[in-house]
Amino acid sequence: MAEQIKIRVQNQGETSDIRILMQHPMETGQRKDDKGQALPMHFIQAFTVNLNGKPIIDGQLNTSISKNPLFTFKARGIKAGDKLSVTWVDSAGERRQDDITVS
């Protein structure tokens, strides 16, 4: 199972900075192992950020994103006590979801 998604929210007046770190190898299918064999593609294909159960960000990724991608966003209307959840699905069908309560 993949490592926990790290989610941080920093409220700054009406706007909030959201930082999301997704632990994932993000293999492109172009690298080779020690024996010269291509490593299979394995990357996050889609992710969603929900605020109190409603989607606020819906993204699609491909092989050009680096290992352990970090994303930052700005959003309005996030307040203490809100629930923020991040879900991703990768090319191998693996899924990860983590939640935080905004403080």
**In the block, residue with structure tokens 């309005």:** 76
Residues 27-39: tens digit of each pLDDT: 999 999 999 999 9
The pTM for the full model equals 0.91
Show the domains of the chain with their CATH numbers: 6-101 (2.60.40.10)
Q: Would you call 39 helix, strand, or coil by DSSP?
A: coil
Which 8-state DSSP code applies to residue 42? Answer: B
Look up residue 5 and give its two tokens.
């998604």
Cα–Cα distance for residue pair 99/55, rounded to 1 Å: 13
Q: What is the mean pLDDT of each run of 10 residues along the chain (103 residues)?
A: 91 96 94 94 97 97 92 96 98 97 96
Half-sphere exposure of 11 (CA within 13 A, CB side): 12
One-character DSSP codes across 25-78: --B-S--B-TTSPBPPPB-EEEEEEEETTEEEEEEE--TTSPSS-EEEEEEES-
Look up residue 78 and give its two tokens.
């996030």
Look up residue 24 and give its two tokens.
């994932």
